[in-house]
Amino acid sequence: MSRNSHPNTGSGSRTARTVEFGRTYVVRPRGKHQATIVWLHGLGDNGSSSSQLLESLPLANIKWICPTAPTRPVTLLGGFPCTAWFDAGELSEDGSNDWEALDDSAAHIANLLSTEPADVKVGIGGFSMGAAMALYSATCYTLGRYGNGNPYPVNLRAIIGLSGWLPGARSLRNKIQSSHDAGRRAASLPILLCHGMSDDVVNYRHGEKSAHSLNSAGFRNLTFKSYDGLGHYTIPAEMDEICNWLTPKLGLEGFRP
């Protein structure tokens, strides 16, 4: 699949627009296909670099789907256009949220997972803005709907966020506590968050704050790992952590550390 687009499904007075997503890259499982994970790149990156990172992991039973975000003007960069899952004025939960684009991207990601076989477990992971997108998708799954009210169609089984933050952190607890089903889904969804303590792009405290917000909203199955001296990038120890964490959470066969 090369290019994907779908009309915006948000409500409001603005006219509907079509969002052009870039190319999607797929890393096929080398063994029995047990799980599919969509992996989301950071600001200005693309799905190709994600796929190159993931195909080297010793996880033979996972199919990785690596989409590329639309190119859009980004406020943080003074309106300069680059690949971004949504517009952002700052890379933290304190910024104003581009709900329309968050929903567009969350729907695109869910669509990529919706055609997977019923016996295959599905999840979402990402780095930086991709991690923020993965966590927003987790909240949509938990609440059973996107921010615009449309139903969320996929049963997520794992979420991974590296060097990211949680969009909509301030209102999440109230939304989840008002629904028994949302509380149940939050309590059982496995989430792994990793953050470098020397991150100078998405400050470590934003990662820590996101973990706290998720915990207090009822996400009990959450692991937060901090890495001393790590900046805004990934390291082999972090990728090893993902392998060690995913294998029991998804019941994967044949992992060799």
Which residues are designated catalytic? Answer: 128, 199, 232
Counting Cβ atoms within 10 Å, is residue 50 exposed (0-12), middle (13-18) or buried (19+)?
buried
In whole angstroms, give the CA distance from residue 165 to residue 131.
7
Q: Report the C-alpha gap between 234 and 239 in whole angstroms.
A: 7
Distance of alpha carbon 219 from alpha carbon 176, whole angstroms: 10
Q: What is the Cα–Cα distance from 129 to 85, expressed in whole angstroms?
A: 7
230 within 8 A of 34, measured Cβ to Cβ: no
Burial 145-154 (b: 16+ CB within 10 A, else e): ebbbeeebeb
Instruction: Identify any residues that bridge with 123 across adjacent strands, giving them in sequence order.
Output: 37, 158
Find the radius of gyration of the CA atoms of the chain.
17
